[in-house]
Amino acid sequence: MIYRLAMIDPKILRDKFYSSESFDGVEIHGAHGYLIDQFMKDQVNDRTDEYGGSLENRCRFALEIVEAISNEIGADKVGIRLSPFANYSESGDSNPKALGLYMAESLNKYGILYCHMVEPRMVTVGEKSDSPHSLLPMRKAFNGTFLVAGGYNREDGIKAVAENRADLVVYGRLFLANPDLPKRFELNAPLNKYDRETFYIPDPVIGYTDYPFLGSTN
């Protein structure tokens, strides 16, 4: 299990991490318009101190978090999710390619386990669009395991790995609707369709644990 981090005291995280056998690692959530992402994007970061202005300054906060968490629990247990091309909550960037490339290169210093990037085609929530951009430069720049996500189906994922555009492909919505997704992919079996209207409702069952397994009628 990966413990996803938006922002937390690294010492608290260390205590939580080592007091539980449930966590294999930490994924720092530096994507989709959340706090860390806002620091990196020039559309929303208007700071005038050492955390604003230049690309290096805007990425400083994210990299300091990577360093702090790595120092506490070990870099081999740390990953980060980034969406340089996304414009969630109006948090876009004027040069997303440069941003993504800078982060990919800078992360090598810390030796973290993986870098997880969202495809340029996923600009906003749930919308897949054509994009002239590619994650390939970031993939080549990062020395560790490179993960990609965003609008992938079975065939796209197989192709991405076969063409060495990624080491691993991440599935979110398809996994939510298909608790046995690896088995379905292995058999090339039909998939349950996810219901987006249930994604954010407070019910603990509907839309979360009520999707049937392969061969089940319930």
C-alpha–C-alpha distance, residues 168 and 145, integer Å: 8
Percent of the chain residues topping a pLDDT of 90:
70
Report pLDDT digits (tens) over 74-93: 999 999 999 999 998 888 99
Asked if pLDDT for residue 191 goes beyond 90, the answer is: yes
Asked if pLDDT for residue 18 goes beyond 70, the answer is: no
C-alpha–C-alpha distance, residues 85 and 134, integer Å: 10
**Residues known to be catalytic:** 34
CA dihedral 91→96→100→106, nearest 10 degrees, is -90
- Name the residue with tokens 């395991």: 145
Report pLDDT digits (tens) over 34-85: 999 999 999 999 999 999 999 999 999 999 999 999 998 899 999 999 999 9
Q: Enter the pTM of the model.
A: 0.87
C-alpha–C-alpha distance, residues 51 and 44, integer Å: 12
Q: Which domains does the chain have, with CATH numbers?
A: 2-170 (3.20.20.70), 172-218 (no CATH)
Do the Cβ atoms of 39 and 51 come closer than 8 Å?
yes
Q: Return the pLDDT at 90.
A: 84
CA atoms within 13 A on the CB side of 197: 0
Report pLDDT digits (tens) over 81-139: 999 999 988 889 999 999 999 999 999 999 999 999 999 987 555 555 566 789 999 99
